[in-house]
Every structure is written in structure tokens, then in C-alpha cells.
Amino acid sequence: MSREIHRAYALGEIIRPRDLQKFTGLSRTTIWRLEQEGKFVQKIRLTRHSIGYRRSDIERWIEDRIEQ
């Protein structure tokens, strides 16, 4: 992980998939389906084998869902 990504993760700015379910209240299947439909935030590649999501993107997505 680059120093910048490591810092962002340490500050809680990056949400890892294992924490995403608790953060959103959605199941892995629902998250996967929404991603496939293009209705969820864009994941970012942290390393060759790991991904994450920007906390700000997820919070914005949740706020948009509440407003609908």
C-alpha cells in the first residue's frame, strides 16, 4: 500500500469490504448486485489483491438514498 493510501486507511477515510456491510447495513450480495447495476460507489484498488471504498463516497451515497 502506498503511504498516502495507508494514511487514508488509518484515518478511517477508506472502508474495506469487510467493514462495508456494517457501515451500510447491506448484505454482501446486495452490495455486489448494486455494483453490477452501476448503482453503488466506485471501489478503488489499494493493492494488487485488495480494494476499498472512499468513506466520503459511501456517506454521500447513503445521503442520496435517504433523500429519495
Question: pLDDT tens, 2-59?
Answer: 666 556 555 568 899 989 999 999 999 999 999 999 999 999 998 899 899 999 999 9
| Residue labelled with grid coordinates 503511504 | 3
So what's the pLDDT on residue 9?
Answer: 58
Q: Which strands make up the sheet holding 44-45, listed edge to edge?
A: 14-15, 51-54, 44-45
* Pair 17, 26: CB distance under 8 Å: no
Domain that holds residue 7: 3-67
Rounded Cα–Cα distance for residues 24 and 58 (Å): 8
- State yes or no: pLDDT of 1 exceeds 60: no
So what's the pLDDT on residue 47?
Answer: 84
Q: How many CA atoms lie within 13 A of 42 on its CB side?
A: 2
* Pair 28, 19: CB distance under 8 Å: no
Could you give the number of structural domains in the chain?
A: 1
pTM value is 0.77
